């Protein structure tokens, strides 16, 4: 029996108990002292309090947890309004924007990892993957669902669920001493792995002191217990992303820098001279930040360590960059 069904059964039992007590009071022997309205209300006060808690708090939360593919809880810092209900609209807009962007990035990586031929920019012309808002609850809980499968975008919904599943596995593994080994074993593809670690960092706005942590649960994550992303977990993910390439192989690639993320120090190399390679996710150090910023949307040659899968470069740790045009 599901958690929601258990709570609904509990509510029905309380209603039945109230009805039985009301029937008993209504059949009291003649001459017995009758109860005042205040006494009747007091007699059922505990029952009504339990029903209020079930209907206002427990049942809505259980329904959101069981029917959302991803349920996030933004935990506010002590004493901050976000700890009690919701942060300001600007903060919520920024948080949701991060979720939308990172889920799309992870989904693109999953789809590209499965295709024998590389995708063109925009997932082979498909519409950008996007979650739907499913539930919003007091206490900064928000639930999202993967949209129904679209014939115009085959495999996208399933890839989105896989990306959320990966997110849960990574967030759960990060507190462990063997986090890097666990994550590498769970997610074999270098681009998918790096994109998922990036999502962990972006989900928690590290510089926003009003939010201490984010708790993740939901159907797609398939976790026995919720996973949490706090500042300690953020720092672990940050360290793992500093040296993302595990291979000793090297390569040189020519294309255009697009989709740059200055916070994560990542960009996509697109429109490569060799179209068989598809798009390549690239990591760069802070020392190359200025060069990358100047090269956005321009043709460049990058060189560095490369992780290959099935003969295709999936992740490059850029060590040098040269403008071509």
Residue 83, pLDDT above cutoff 50: no
Other CB atoms within 10 Å distance of the CB of residue 156: 23
242, 260, 275 - which closes a domain: 242
* Helix or strand run (H / E) with residue 104: helix 89-114
- Predicted confidence band of residue 315 (pLDDT cuts 50, 70, 90): very high
What percent of the chain clears pLDDT 70, i.e. is strictly above it?
88
Residue 296 DSSP one-character state: B
Residue 110, pLDDT above cutoff 60: yes
Question: Are 313 and 283 contained in the same domain?
Answer: yes
The arrangement of strands across the sheet holding 132-137 comes to 132-137, 141-145, 70-76, 211-217, 227-230
Closest CA to 99 of 221, 238, 201, 241: 201
* Per-residue confidence (pLDDT) for residue 210, from 0 to 100: 76
Question: Are 235 and 254 contained in the same domain?
Answer: no
Question: Are 190 and 97 contained in the same domain?
Answer: yes
Mean pLDDT of 277-285: 91
Among 16-25, 145-154, 160-169, 175-184, the minimum mean pLDDT is found in 145-154
42, 67, 92 - which closes a domain: 67
Judge residue 101's burial from the number of C-beta atoms within 10 Å of its C-beta, 0-12 exposed, 13-18 middle, 19 or more buried. Answer: middle
Question: Are 61 and 83 contained in the same domain?
Answer: no
Find out whether 196 and 315 touch, Cβ atoms under 8 Å: no
172-231: per-residue pLDDT in tens? Answer: 999 999 999 999 999 999 999 999 999 999 998 877 777 889 999 999 998 989 999 999
Question: Are 258 and 234 contained in the same domain?
Answer: no
Question: Are 23 and 131 contained in the same domain?
Answer: no
Considering its fold, how many domains does the chain have in total?
Answer: 3
Question: Are 133 and 199 contained in the same domain?
Answer: yes
* Per-residue confidence (pLDDT) for residue 212, from 0 to 100: 86
Question: Are 238 and 315 contained in the same domain?
Answer: no
Return all residues near 47 (Cβ < 8 A) that are at least 6 apart: 14, 17, 18
Question: Are 199 and 56 contained in the same domain?
Answer: no
242, 258, 275 - which closes a domain: 242
* Per-residue confidence (pLDDT) for residue 37, from 0 to 100: 75
Question: Are 280 and 148 contained in the same domain?
Answer: no
Prediction pTM value: 0.84
Mean pLDDT of 221-248: 92
As a whole number of angstroms, the distance between CA 325 and CA 314 comes to 25
Question: Are 300 and 152 contained in the same domain?
Answer: no
30-81: per-residue pLDDT in tens? Answer: 555 666 778 777 888 999 999 999 999 999 999 999 999 999 998 875 545 4
Question: Are 235 and 284 contained in the same domain?
Answer: no
Residue 121, pLDDT above cutoff 70: no
Higher pLDDT, 260 or 1: 260
As a whole number of angstroms, the distance between CA 124 and CA 200 comes to 26
Domain containing 220: what range?
Answer: 71-242
For the chain, the average pLDDT equals 86
- Residue 284 maps to which CATH number? 2.40.50.790
Residue 122, pLDDT above cutoff 50: no
- Predicted confidence band of residue 85 (pLDDT cuts 50, 70, 90): low
Instruction: Give, in degrees to the nearest 5, the angle at Cα 107 between 290 and 134.
Output: 115
């Amino acid at each position: 029996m599901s958690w929601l069904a258990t709570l609904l059964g509990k509510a029905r039992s309380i209603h039945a108990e109230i009805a039985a007590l009301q029937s008993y009071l209504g059949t009291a022997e003649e001459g017995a002292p009758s109860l005042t309205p205040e006494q009747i209300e007091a007699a059922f006060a505990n029952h009504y309090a339990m029903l209020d808690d079930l209907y206002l708090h427990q049942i809505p939360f259980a329904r959101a947890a069981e029917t959302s593919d991803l349920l996030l809880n933004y935990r506010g810092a002590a004493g901050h309004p976000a700890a009690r209900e919701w942060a300001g609209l600007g903060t919520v807009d920024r948080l949701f924007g991060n979720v939308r962007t990172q889920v799309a990035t992870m989904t693109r990586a999953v789809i590209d990892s499965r295709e024998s031929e590389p995708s063109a920019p925009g997932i082979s012309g498909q519409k950008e993957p996007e979650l739907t808002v499913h539930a919003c609850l007091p206490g900064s809980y928000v639930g999202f669902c993967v949209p129904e499968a679209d014939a115009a975008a085959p495999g996208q919904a399933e890839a989105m669920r896989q990306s959320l599943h990966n997110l849960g596995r990574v967030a759960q593994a990060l507190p462990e001493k063997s986090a890097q080994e666990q994550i590498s074993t769970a997610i074999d593809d270098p681009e998918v792995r790096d994109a998922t670690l990036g999502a962990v960092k972006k989900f928690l706005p590290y510089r926003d002191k009003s939010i201490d942590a984010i708790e993740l649960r939901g159907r797609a994550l398939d976790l026995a217990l919720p996973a949490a992303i706090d500042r300690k977990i953020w720092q672990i993910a940050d360290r793992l992303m500093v040296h993302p390439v595990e291979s000793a192989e090297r390569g040189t690639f020519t294309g255009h820098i697009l989709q740059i993320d200055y916070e994560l120090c990542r960009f996509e190399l697109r429109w490569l001279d060799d179209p068989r390679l598809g798009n390549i996710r690239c990591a760069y150090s802070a020392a190359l930040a200025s060069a990358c910023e100047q090269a956005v949307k321009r043709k460049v040659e990058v060189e560095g360590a490369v992780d290959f899968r099935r003969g295709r470069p999936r992740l490059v740790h850029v060590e040098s960059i040269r403008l071509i045009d």
